[in-house]
Amino acid sequence: MEDRRPNLTLTGVVVSDKMDKTCVVLVNRLVKHPVYKKYIRRRAKFMAHDEKNIAHMGDTVEIIQSRPLSRLKRWRLTKVLASQA
C-alpha cells in the first residue's frame, strides 16, 4: 500500500474570475515571528481550476491541491462556501 500525503485544502477569497475555467484565489494566513513572537499576516494567490465557472469575485471558496493543470494552475475548486451575490 502506498503512503501518500493527503491533498492539501485551503480556504480563500476569489479576486479574479475573468479567465475561462480559472479563478484566482487569495489565501490569508497568520505566521508567528520566530524572534518577536508577534503574528504577521501573510497572503498568497493561487490559480484554481473552475470547470463550471461557478465562482465569482468576492466568493469564499475551498480549493484542493492537484496535479499540474497548466503552467500556473496546481489547484482545483472544490466548493463555494459563501457567495457574494
Q: What is the pLDDT of residues 23-32, one digit of tens each?
A: 999 999 999 9
Q: What is the pLDDT of residue 45?
A: 98
Q: Would you place residue 7 in the very low, low, confident or very high pLDDT band (cuts 50, 70, 90)?
A: confident
- Domains of the chain (ranges; CATH) run 9-82 (2.40.50.140)
Our separate counts of H helices and E strands in the chain read 0, 5
Residue whose entry in the numeric block shows the C-alpha cell 471558496: 61
